[in-house]
Structure 1
Amino acid sequence: MRSPTAALLRLAAVTAGLLGLLLPLPGLGAPAHAAPTGFRVENGRLLEASGNDFVMRGVNHAHTWYPDRISSLAHIKAKGANTVRVVLSSGDRWTRNDTTDVADVVAQCKQNRLICVLEVHDTTGYGEQSGAVTLSRAADYWISVRSALAGQEDYVIVNIGNEPYGNTNHTAWTADTKAAIRKLRDAGFDHTIMVDAPNWGQDWAFTMRDNAASVFAADPDRNTVFSIHMYGVFDTAAEVGDYLNRFVAAELPIVVGEFGHDHSDGNPDEDAILAVTQQLGLGYLGWSWSGNGGGVEYLDMVTNFDPDRLTSWGQRIFDGPNGIAATAREAAVYSSGGGDTTAPTAPGAPAASAVTSSSVTLSWAAATDATGVTGYDVVRVSGGEETVVTSTTGTSATVTGLAPATSYTFAVYARDAAGNRSQRSGTVAVTTSSGGSQAACAVGYKVTGQWPGGFQGEIVLRNTGTSAINGWTLRWTFPDSQRVTSLWGGTATRDGAEVTVTSAPHTAAVPAAGSVTLGFTASRGSANPSPTAFTLDGAACAVS
């Protein structure tokens, strides 16, 4: 579903005859290759860590547009749901949900004994919707908030991006989805991953249906669930049944991640969606609790977020035949013995000692927890983002690999055995020493052009020494969450707000008194301050 104010696209209807002409998917019955720490997929079914079959019964909640309505999660649970799909933003189209907010959403889900499906909405209609971003960009967002998700694999499913293609170039969905899954796995995500279909989520061209087997096989953990959004394209029982049965026959996991009782592109058959998913034991998540606009207010399940004012759609999905109240079963992680959903207290703000040009030792007062604190995560805080730099079971840690004469901000989180994470501690600011190490270099940085949300920049690296530089690594930290999107003259990697560039073959050699020039494009917020410190091979450069 698009934002409450976006224009709605009318999709072409798909006939049952066309469905019958297409070949079924090949089977994939192999169990997951990894040993997941939480949810996992086996033989086309979504299982909890305990091995219990889990069937989602829940709704979508537009958190990113209504952050003050977090109490809606308690109301959704009270109606009988076992799952909530929560709308988040990477900051590209709407206000970014930062690490602290994501952690709070997860905590609220756990307190209300709900499974959390978290999705990035900024990908909606990519290639057709102005401002929509790629799945790769969405994966970068998940990596930036990973500290809020690590250890939550029993409770959280990561839905990479909402409706990641419109109807333009939708065949690119397959390769882009595989790449985004690999990016998350390479970054250490052990969660079950959910992927939405293209064609505004409705897959009328069957790109997801016919390529789901290869996408599933491309996940090294074999722990991916597919999500179809059923609106006007699915206006007959035959279409609903054909689509879902093909996935079941192929032992590929499928859920209806969004659907409604009506829509501008046609009248979906909600009775068939509810009946077929119940018959096949498949999950569904209706759109949406409240707050719809742009002409689709009829999709609100309650009026003005009031749980006592169910609309006709709300009455149907919660209390009607095959609805949530009659069919939902609470996740075993909560219902078996209740589960520990109480987070530890926040640890004390860290104190810094033994500060050198490349390291600092941090120590803090211990957190407390009824069942015991099992560890601490030290995070670097920069421009609203957090990056875990080290983890420990004690109350002190040494952070290494820092740049000389550079300012850093650190904080600490505590965790318990159930994976509950505390609130963030207070922060400490640290500036590393210069260490007497000043590289024979100077850096010139300038913005050569900018536009809303992005800019182009240039970096001139000068060799101010008397001998040639042969191969180099340049580092800097953006002060306001800018992100390099492309770079020429070297190879860029990013760790939070810190950018590392290694030389390209044609820029590796910098003669004495010579220079090389790098160019890049990047995203930005409303401000675009310049970085103030650069290091070359770990030593500080002069900034000119």
Structure 2
Amino acid sequence: MKKLLSAAGAALLTVLAAVFAFGQPAHAAAGFSVSNGRLYDANGTEFVMRGVNHAHTWYPQQTSSFANIKALGANTVRVVLATGDRWAKNDTADVANVISLCKANKLVCVLEAHDTTGYGEDGAATTLDRAASYWLSVASALQGQEKYVIINIGNEPFGNQGYGAWTNDTANAIKKLRAGGLTHTIMVDGPNWGQDWSFTMRDNAGTVFNADPQKNTVFSIHMYGVFDTAAEITDYLGRFRSAGLPIVVGEFGFNHSDGNPDEDTIMSYSQANGIGYLGWSWSGNGGGVEYLDMATGFNPNQLTSWGQRIFNGANGIKATAKEASVYAGTTPPSPTTSPSPSTSPSPTTSPSPSTPPTTTPPPSGGCTASYTIINSWQGGFQAEIKVTAGSAALNGWSTRWTFANGQTVSQSWSTTLTNSGATYTGRNVDYNARVGAGASTTFGFIASWNGTNAIPAVTCTAS
């Protein structure tokens, strides 16, 4: 996963992006379904994923992980499987067993084929078409499980080369599954190692959604170093919400070699806006990314700082997960602890460790705002305003400041900006109106200056 855009460049490019066009979704009552950008279970109850990824294909003996993940509060587990093209195939019997473990522990099962990771850049990766063939080859384990299973066709299809084919290849893979009789909700990952820095998935999601005859497709973005500012996170997720297209954060971590992802905003914005998230990953990482383990040696009693953060922290899994209503009336077994494996192959990812960011205590009540000059040049500058909720969540906000030196704003993003002379008012747009208690969102602008560029005081009002 590689970051090719600066935070400022990404924010500016998003201003120019086209608005999605898409058809009206329809329900599929036999299992999960999508309507107006939301995911619903078979009972018609909205379902928001709160869970983690588990590397089953590399650690098939760690079956107790399902109970342990459930005991920590998760309602979903994304399970790594292999098609046989790169790693040993998880056959029909194994897939059926994974589904039974999910169901026994009252977890929604998101099953993903990992062999597509980085296709076009990684020569060992396979195509989405091959991944679709894999799902059809294990169809007997999947059919009848639509209430409990979501099919994630292929993990991070396309690296940073050849990703222009993502739209057609993804649409064709969806149609292949439907033609083969699979009616489950389908999840699709973005290209660029899942991070979609090219906005290929974002700008073509409507086309892919309409390619599904059942209109039952969910989009998954992986947020690592590309998403290291609140503005990038809220803008990306917010555009899907505004377009009425379903989006989840299928993977994210607390750190990354190409930038430090803002996990606090990922979690708070997702919670405030009903967006699912699935952290990477439970345990068993190797190849230099061991710090992404949430549990040391698959032991739920030895959570790492990342594990503590995602399970027990603000806007974390334990505080926000709601069990799928299709599991009402059933009781999961007690969790057990398994020993860590002695030898197993490891997934390949590219993050590198560093110290996670600290969290600033939230202000009490209402909201506050801060003003930062991001960049400055002769005659112009870029600024960012950060809005932070107090002890209660916001459902709308406005900020106000007055320039003292004749500065004039020429362009803005993630806000509705008006002015009366030197006094400016920045209000939320639809996708960043809701901010969780203690959480933050940002907006930015480009302005001119001449001689002096004093930083003004900014006030914030909850609305």
Same fold (TM over 0.5): yes
Match of 2:244 in 1: 251
Match of 2:330 in 1: 338
Q: Say whether the 8 Å CA contact 1:174–1:208 is kept in structure 2.
A: yes
* Pair 1:97 & 2:90 matched: yes
User: Counterparts of 2:53 and 2:318 in 1: how far apart (Å)?
Assistant: 16
More helix by share: 2
Secondary structure, counterpart of 2:20 in structure 1? coil
- The aligned amino acid for 2:269 is V
Q: Say whether the 8 Å CA contact 2:7–2:229 is kept in structure 1.
A: no
Match of 1:131 in 2: 124
Residue number among 3, 6, 27 corresponding to 1:11 in the alignment: 3
Match of 2:25 in 1: 31
Deviation at 1:172, TM superposition (A): 0.3
Match of 1:179 in 2: 172
Structure 1 gaps of 5+ residues are 1-8, 342-544
- The aligned amino acid for 1:87 is V
Residue number among 152, 159, 163 corresponding to 2:152 in the alignment: 159
User: Counterparts of 1:143 and 1:178 in 2: how far apart (Å)?
Assistant: 16
* Pair 1:275 & 2:268 matched: yes
Q: Say whether the 8 Å CA contact 1:11–1:233 is kept in structure 2.
A: yes
Structure 2 gaps of 5+ residues are 334-463
Query: 1:256-277 CA distances to partner (integer Å, 9 max, x unpaired)?
Result: 0000000111110000100110
Match of 2:283 in 1: 290
More strand by share: 1
Q: Say whether the 8 Å CA contact 2:21–2:207 is kept in structure 1.
A: no
Query: 1:195-243 CA distances to partner (integer Å, 9 max, x unpaired)?
Result: 0000000000000000000100010000000000000000000000000
User: Counterparts of 1:19 and 1:115 in 2: how far apart (Å)?
Assistant: 36
When residues 75 and 340 of structure 1 are mapped into structure 2, their CA distance, relative to the original with a 3 A threshold, is closer
Match of 2:398 in 1: none
Secondary structure, counterpart of 1:175 in structure 2? helix
* Pair 1:329 & 2:327 matched: no
Deviation at 1:24, TM superposition (A): 4.4
Match of 1:21 in 2: 15
User: Counterparts of 2:314 and 2:18 in 1: how far apart (Å)?
Assistant: 30
Deviation at 1:37, TM superposition (A): 1.0
User: Counterparts of 1:29 and 1:140 in 2: how far apart (Å)?
Assistant: 27
Match of 2:42 in 1: 49
Query: 1:276-326 CA distances to partner (integer Å, 9 max, x unpaired)?
Result: 100111000000000001111110001010110000000000000000000
- The aligned amino acid for 2:310 is I
Q: CA RMSD in A?
A: 1.5
User: Counterparts of 1:63 and 1:94 in 2: how far apart (Å)?
Assistant: 12
Q: Say whether the 8 Å CA contact 1:122–1:162 is kept in structure 2.
A: yes
Residue number among 179, 182, 195 corresponding to 1:189 in the alignment: 182
Deviation at 1:29, TM superposition (A): 6.3
Q: Say whether the 8 Å CA contact 1:234–1:268 is kept in structure 2.
A: yes
Q: Say whether the 8 Å CA contact 1:289–1:301 is kept in structure 2.
A: yes
Q: Say whether the 8 Å CA contact 1:25–1:247 is kept in structure 2.
A: no
Secondary structure, counterpart of 1:77 in structure 2? helix
User: Counterparts of 1:300 and 1:35 in 2: how far apart (Å)?
Assistant: 36
Bigger CA radius of gyration: 1
Match of 1:114 in 2: 107
- The aligned amino acid for 2:89 is R
Match of 1:420 in 2: none
Q: Say whether the 8 Å CA contact 1:300–1:313 is kept in structure 2.
A: yes
For 1:179-258, list aligned pairs within 5 A: 179-258=172-251
Deviation at 1:244, TM superposition (A): 0.2
Secondary structure, counterpart of 2:116 in structure 1? coil
- The aligned amino acid for 1:253 is P
User: Counterparts of 1:333 and 1:220 in 2: how far apart (Å)?
Assistant: 25
User: Counterparts of 1:57 and 1:185 in 2: how far apart (Å)?
Assistant: 27
- The aligned amino acid for 2:4 is A
Deviation at 1:130, TM superposition (A): 1.9
User: Counterparts of 1:282 and 1:238 in 2: how far apart (Å)?
Assistant: 16
Secondary structure, counterpart of 1:234 in structure 2? coil
Secondary structure, counterpart of 2:219 in structure 1? strand
User: Counterparts of 1:179 and 1:230 in 2: how far apart (Å)?
Assistant: 25
When residues 236 and 340 of structure 1 are mapped into structure 2, their CA distance, relative to the original with a 3 A threshold, is closer
- The aligned amino acid for 1:265 is D
- The aligned amino acid for 1:21 is V
Q: Say whether the 8 Å CA contact 2:28–2:216 is kept in structure 1.
A: no
Deviation at 1:14, TM superposition (A): 4.1
Which fold has the larger relative contact order, with Cα–Cα distance below 8 Å and residues 6 or more apart in sequence? 2
Secondary structure, counterpart of 2:250 in structure 1? strand
Query: Deviation above 2 Å: which 4+ runs of structure 1?
Result: 13-29, 337-341
Residue number among 47, 67, 74 corresponding to 1:81 in the alignment: 74
Secondary structure, counterpart of 2:79 in structure 1? strand
Deviation at 1:21, TM superposition (A): 2.9
When residues 164 and 109 of structure 1 are mapped into structure 2, their CA distance, relative to the original with a 3 A threshold, is same
Deviation at 1:19, TM superposition (A): 3.5
User: Counterparts of 1:47 and 1:14 in 2: how far apart (Å)?
Assistant: 36
Match of 2:161 in 1: 168
User: Counterparts of 2:82 and 2:64 in 1: how far apart (Å)?
Assistant: 19
Query: 1:122-181 CA distances to partner (integer Å, 9 max, x unpaired)?
Result: 000001112100000000000000000000000000000000000001010000000000
